[in-house]
Amino acid sequence: MIKLAKLPERTLVRITLLLPPALHDRLVRYASAYAEAYGVDKPLPELIRAMLSNFLDSDRTFQKDWSSRLTPDRTTNRSRD
């Protein structure tokens, strides 16, 4: 079984991404593995979205740093009213 789970439905925001040919080839092969694993073809942008989301969700250092910015430390970051 491949690492990426079956993709849910989502609302989208458009961005443009340029990739080196070697990375594009790897993504095409991954899309083929996804189709074989789940019996459904998904376009590369949809797979890339899921891969990026999974990567960010698994980065504990990023999550810890980001959550500390969202939750102010009451001893050093007083609210400015």
The model's pLDDT over 50-73, given as tens digits with 9 standing for 90+, comes to 999 899 889 888 878 777 776 655
What's the number of domains the chain is made of?
1
Give the domain extent around 39. Answer: 21-64
Q: Is the per-residue pLDDT at 75 higher than 60?
A: no
Q: pTM (2 decimals)?
A: 0.63
Q: Is residue 15 part of a domain?
A: no
Q: Is residue 35 part of a domain?
A: yes
Task: Give, in order, the Cα–Cα distances in Å from 24 to each of 21, 28, 31, 45, 49.
Answer: 5, 6, 10, 11, 14
The model's pLDDT over 9-39, given as tens digits with 9 standing for 90+, comes to 778 788 898 999 999 999 999 999 999 999 9
